[in-house]
Amino acid sequence: MGASRRTFIASVLAGSVVGALPGIASASAAPRTATPAAGTAGDVVGKITVGYQGWFACAGDGAPIDGWWHWSQDWSRTPSPANNAIKAWPDMREFTGAYRTGYGNLGDGQPATLFSSYDQQTVDTHFLWMRQNGCDTAALQRFNPNSSEGPTRDAMAAKVRSSAEANDVKFYVMYDVTGWTAMQTEIKADWTAKMSAHTASTAYARQSGQPVVCIWGFGFNDDNHPWDAATCLDVVTWFKSQGCYVIGGVPREWRTGTGGSRAGYSGVYHAFDMLSPWMVGAIGTAADSDSVYQNVNIPDQADCDANGIDYQPCVLPGDVSANQRAHGDFMWRQFYNMVRVGAQGIYISMFDEYGEGNQIAKTAENASQVPTGSGLLALDADGTACSSDYYLRLTADGGRMLKGQLALTATRPTPPVTGTGTPPGTDLALNRPTSDSGHTQGYVSGNAVDGDPNTYWESADNAFPQWLQVDLGTTTATARIVLTLPPSAAWGARTQTFSVQGGTDGSTFTTLAAAAGHTFDPATGNTVTVTFPAAADVRYLRVVVTANTGWPAGQFSGLQVYSA
């Protein structure tokens, strides 16, 4: 049984690198006033969206597809080196459902097992990773639902809805029309009879108050996307008449109507509310990204601005099997380029695409987690050790830069490995994802970990207790924290009463340091160090503030975490 793919291979563009644009301004260093916070973004504008396949099944998992869906070339047979359809091996340590394959044991001697997307726990785990790593919205891929895959895809939509609701992650339907012969009538019927019902979910993505739908595949210049412009425009117009905000997954050359794009589709492209040009197969190095930035992204953004269209370019981690990733530098260069071009959102290609090897979901770190004799590469293929969640953490930092919580930087801030073995003098919280119980104006939680002593977090006023939290990315040995306020004398001495809590899942916390009053004095650098009575292995560290003699809110310009 064959497996369809969304890869659209295109030649790499030539071009030159342009100078960096000015960085995003940090929050004011003044102790109290700030410009008002920007208006609330929607669920795709200003957000990180990840493509979610959800299309892996295993024999015996109960899925209607009844086979090794997308794990092997012949879905009726167990995946093995001779029946392989993937380029990277998942890190299986967090899945309760594990299905034995025909590969040799992993390098550490454990059996080579794979997950099934049909298991709710798999989807729950994936959406937990999204929540933990700044993936705001998931675009659920939906191919022709009238094929033999239809019942399984229908079930997957319900599973994704459940997980999105449980994890406070948004989702929307992304129709991939590749090879869908009767698309024009059937896509409308599918939305009306099935998928539109999911817009009732509190987790269904909305933009400008409208439910989001994406159509991927209009205008591509190949036999799998044969529809004329009038047919495509009819479908886009119909979805907009249903009150939808419609995204177009379009060819990279949509603006010029050349190369991978059919000519004469400008009216179709400009009918979309948002455009998301496809990039997988088009770039493979940071230099390629710079070329595309100069020759494609800048004029794309200008065209979208001129036509009132939102721009959502792709960022991809790179194919593991082709050694494109450069331990994160390839992906970070794309984040940098897309933020400096002013993109309205970013689409990550993809979350769980182990078949193309461009997944950000947790992946085998080294040979001990890859089946022996498989020929598959791990994340350390270029000689740099990377934790299995590294590309999730990288996505979190890219999202923070998109949202202005991290200053624009061409230098990747994300360490490939965190946790035990980290040098004691390394701040484990630097540039890590943060959250809070609330904040005032633009004094957001990310200011506490940006390395700038003059930016700060300030909680909502007159509403104790308040908390500030940092996600270290993986369970890590911690021994002390350092909290600061801006060093300026304008910040008079004050005592804040707070406790320190830690946990491994973001929901259950234990006390690492009991509540006590701590004095911040500019005469001594406005710095407080809290050492834990016993070293603690935590991923999430939370400071809970219950009082402040200097202002009726919690305030910190720095939250640093150390292993010793």
pLDDT, average across residues 87-105: 94
Identify which of 22-26, 298-302, 365-369 has the greatest average pLDDT: 298-302
pTM, 2 dp:
0.72
CB 94 within 8 A of CB 362: yes
**Residue scoring higher pLDDT (524 or 555):** 555
Q: Is the pLDDT of residue 23 over 90?
A: no
Q: Is the pLDDT of residue 501 over 80?
A: yes
Q: What is the pLDDT of residue 431?
A: 87
Q: What is the pLDDT of residue 104?
A: 95
Band the pLDDT of 518: cuts 50, 70, 90.
very high
Q: What is the pLDDT of residue 33?
A: 26
Band the pLDDT of 564: cuts 50, 70, 90.
low
For 434-562, CATH gives: 2.60.120.260
pLDDT, average across residues 463-473: 95
Q: Is the pLDDT of residue 139 over 90?
A: yes
Band the pLDDT of 205: cuts 50, 70, 90.
very high
pLDDT, average across residues 102-113: 93
Q: What is the pLDDT of residue 13?
A: 32
Q: What is the pLDDT of residue 459?
A: 97
3-state secondary structure 480-549: EEEEECCCCCCCCCEEEEEEEEEECCCCCCEEEEEEEEEEECHHHCCEEEEEEEEEEEEEEEEEEEEEEC
> What distance in Å separates the CA atoms of residue 318 and residue 295, rounded to the nearest whole number?
20
Q: Is the pLDDT of residue 29 over 60?
A: no
Q: What is the pLDDT of residue 423?
A: 52
Q: Is the pLDDT of residue 35 over 80?
A: no
Q: Is the pLDDT of residue 406 over 60?
A: yes
Q: Residue 184 carries which DSSP code? A: H
List, in sequence order, every residue forming a beta bridge with 174; answer none if it has no partner. 141, 214
Q: What is the pLDDT of residue 419?
A: 57
Write the DSSP assignment of 319-378 as a string of letters: -GGGT--GGGHHHHHHHHHHHHHT-S-EEES-SS-TTTT---S-B--SGGGSBTTS----
> What distance in Å separates the CA atoms of residue 289 and residue 271, rounded to the nearest whole number?
27
Q: What is the pLDDT of residues 265-279, one digit of tens each?
A: 999 999 999 999 999
Contacts of 411 (CB under 8 A, 6+ apart): none
**Residue scoring higher pLDDT (242 or 18):** 242
What does each C-alpha distance from 409 to 23, 134, 324, 431, 534 come to in angstroms? Answer: 7, 18, 21, 12, 36
pLDDT, average across residues 118-142: 96
Mean pLDDT of all residues in the chain?
90
Q: Which fold has domain 48-68+119-362+394-402?
A: TIM Barrel (3.20.20)
Q: What percent of the chain has pLDDT over 70?
A: 92
Q: What is the pLDDT of residues 304-315, one digit of tens each?
A: 999 999 999 999
Q: Are 48-68+119-362+394-402 and 434-562 in the same CATH fold?
A: no
Q: What is the pLDDT of residues 332-374, one digit of tens each?
A: 999 999 999 999 999 999 999 999 999 999 999 999 999 999 9
Q: What are the backbone dihedrals phi and psi of residue 62, each rounded to the nearest 5 degrees, phi first? A: 90, 0
The ranges assigned to domains in the chain are: 48-68+119-362+394-402, 434-562
